[in-house]
C-alpha cells in the first residue's frame, strides 16, 4: 500500500517538474531579450558588466524628460509608473547657466534627429542642423560612426558628419527605426596593447588631447552597444569593482573593446560614460538601478512589449 502511494507521489512530482520545464521553455521562446551580469577580465583587470541581449526591434532610443511625474532623476518610469529598463545613450553637451544643451552624437528617435527633443528644457532646445554628429563642431574629421536599425537589419555607417532635415543628403535617416552615434570600437581588428588601440583611435578621430583623455584613455564607467554573431543587439553598462562609486575605476575604451569582443560582438560603438553611465534592470524580482548621479538627455530602453518577457537573473 505504501509502495503504491510512493509510486503516485513520484509520478506527481515528475509531472510537476515536467510542467515547470515546459513552462520555462515556452517562456524562453516568447522572451526575445535576456539580461546578464558577469565579471569580465580585460587587460588584467576585472569589471562588472551588466548587459541586455535581444532582437533589434526590442529596443528604442528616446529622449528623457525630467519635468514629468513619471520620469525623474533617479527613476525612469512610464506614465503608468512602470520602470523602464535600459541604459543611457550617447554624447551630449549641457550648459548649466542656461539649463539647455544639445546632442553631440546623433540620436534617431522615430525617424527624426533627437536634437529636437533631447534637452532638459525642451523649450530651449536648438537644432544644430549639420553638426549633430561631431565631437567638436566645425571639424568634419571628428565625425562619429552611426549604428542604426532599418526595420530589416542593423548597419554601421562610418564617420557620418552631417544630418540634414530638408536635404537629399540625409543618410536615409527617415528610414531608420532607431540610430545612434559613437566611437567605433574596431571589433574587426586586434591590437597588441592599449597604446596601440588608442593611437589608432586618435588617428581616426583627430580631436584635442583633452577629449582623448576624457573619452578614450580615462578609466571610468562606460556604456556600449554592439551587434553579436547571432545578429542580436548587445547593450552593456560596464563598471569598476566598486558599484557604490559607479564612475570610479572603470574601463578604458580599449578595455571596452576587449569586453565587447568577449560578448561575441562583431561591430560596436562606445557611447557616453563616466557619470552619465546608467543601467536599470531586475534581479531576484527586484528593480535595480546603478547610476553615477548625472542626468542624461536620452536613453536606450526595452520596448514595452519586450520588457514584459525578459529573462532576468535569479
What pLDDT is recorded for position 29? 40
Whether the pLDDT of residue 94 is over 60: the answer is: yes
26 and 124 inside one domain: no
Mean pLDDT check: name the lowest of 61-75, 86-100, 144-158, 282-296.
61-75
**Using CA atoms, how far apart are residues 220 and 193, in angstroms rounded to an integer?**
18
Please count the structural domains in the chain: 2
120 and 42 inside one domain: yes
Per-residue pLDDT tens over the stretch 239-277:
987 766 666 789 999 999 999 999 999 999 999 888 889
Tell me whether residue 96 is in a domain: yes
Tell me whether residue 197 is in a domain: yes
248 and 291 inside one domain: yes
4 and 73 inside one domain: no
User: 177: which residues sit within 8 A by CB, 6+ positions away?
Assistant: 56, 57, 111, 148, 149, 150, 151
C-alpha cell at 265: 560582438
Once rounded to an integer, what is the mean pLDDT over residues 202-224? Answer: 73
Tell me whether residue 199 is in a domain: yes
Q: What is the DSSP string of 139-189?
A: -GGGBPEEEEE-SS-EEEE-------SSSS-STTGGG-SEEEEEEE--TTS
What pLDDT is recorded for position 27? 41
91 and 160 inside one domain: yes
Whether the pLDDT of residue 2 is over 80: the answer is: no
Per-residue pLDDT tens over the stretch 15-71:
665 554 444 444 444 468 999 999 999 999 999 999 999 999 999 988 776 545 555
> pTM of whole model > 0.75?
yes
152 and 6 inside one domain: no
22 and 105 inside one domain: no
9 and 111 inside one domain: no
Tell me whether residue 159 is in a domain: yes
Quick check: helix, strand or coil at residue 244? coil
Residue 309 DSSP class: T
15 and 101 inside one domain: no
Tell me whether residue 314 is in a domain: no
Look up the domain containing 12 and give its range.
1-30
What pLDDT is recorded for position 1? 53
Confidence at 202, pLDDT banded by 50, 70, 90: confident
Tell me whether residue 312 is in a domain: no
5 and 57 inside one domain: no
Tell me whether residue 268 is in a domain: yes
Amino acid at each position: 500500500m505504501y509502495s503504491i502511494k510512493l509510486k503516485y507521489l513520484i509520478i506527481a512530482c515528475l509531472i510537476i517538474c515536467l510542467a515547470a520545464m515546459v513552462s520555462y521553455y515556452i517562456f524562453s521562446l516568447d522572451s526575445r531579450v535576456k539580461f546578464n551580469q558577469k565579471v569580465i577580465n580585460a587587460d588584467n583587470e576585472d569589471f562588472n558588466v551588466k548587459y541586455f541581449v535581444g532582437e533589434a526591434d526590442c529596443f528604442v532610443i528616446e529622449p528623457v524628460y525630467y519635468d514629468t511625474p513619471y520620469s525623474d532623476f533617479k527613476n525612469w518610469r512610464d506614465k503608468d509608473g512602470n520602470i523602464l529598463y535600459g541604459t543611457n545613450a550617447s554624447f551630449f553637451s549641457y550648459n548649466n547657466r542656461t539649463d539647455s544643451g544639445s546632442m553631440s552624437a546623433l540620436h534617431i528617435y522615430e525617424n527624426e534627429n533627437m536634437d529636437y527633443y533631447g534637452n532638459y528644457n525642451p523649450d530651449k532646445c536648438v537644432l544644430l542642423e549639420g553638426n549633430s554628429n561631431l565631437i567638436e563642431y566645425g571639424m568634419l574629421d571628428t565625425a562619429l560612426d552611426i549604428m542604426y536599425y532599418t526595420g530589416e537589419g542593423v548597419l554601421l555607417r562610418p564617420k557620418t558628419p552631417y544630418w540634414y532635415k530638408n536635404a537629399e543628403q540625409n543618410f536615409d535617416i527617415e528610414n531608420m527605426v532607431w540610430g545612434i552615434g559613437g566611437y567605433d570600437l574596431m571589433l574587426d581588428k586586434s591590437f597588441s596593447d592599449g597604446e596601440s588601440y588608442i593611437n589608432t583611435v586618435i588617428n581616426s578621430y583627430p580631436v584635442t588631447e583633452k577629449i582623448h583623455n576624457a573619452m578614450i584613455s580615462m578609466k571610468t564607467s562606460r556604456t556600449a552597444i554592439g551587434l553579436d554573431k547571432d545578429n542580436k543587439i548587445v547593450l552593456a553598462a560596464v563598471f569598476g569593482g566598486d558599484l557604490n562609486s559607479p564612475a570610479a575605476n572603470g574601463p578604458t575604451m580599449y578595455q571596452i573593446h576587449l569586453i565587447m569582443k568577449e560578448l561575441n560582438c562583431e561591430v560596436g560603438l562606445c557611447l557616453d560614460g563616466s557619470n552619465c553611465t546608467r543601467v536599470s534592470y531586475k534581479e531576484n524580482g527586484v528593480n535595480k538601478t546603478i547610476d553615477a548621479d548625472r542626468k542624461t538627455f536620452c536613453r536606450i530602453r526595452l520596448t514595452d512589449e519586450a520588457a514584459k518577457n525578459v529573462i532576468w537573473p535569479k
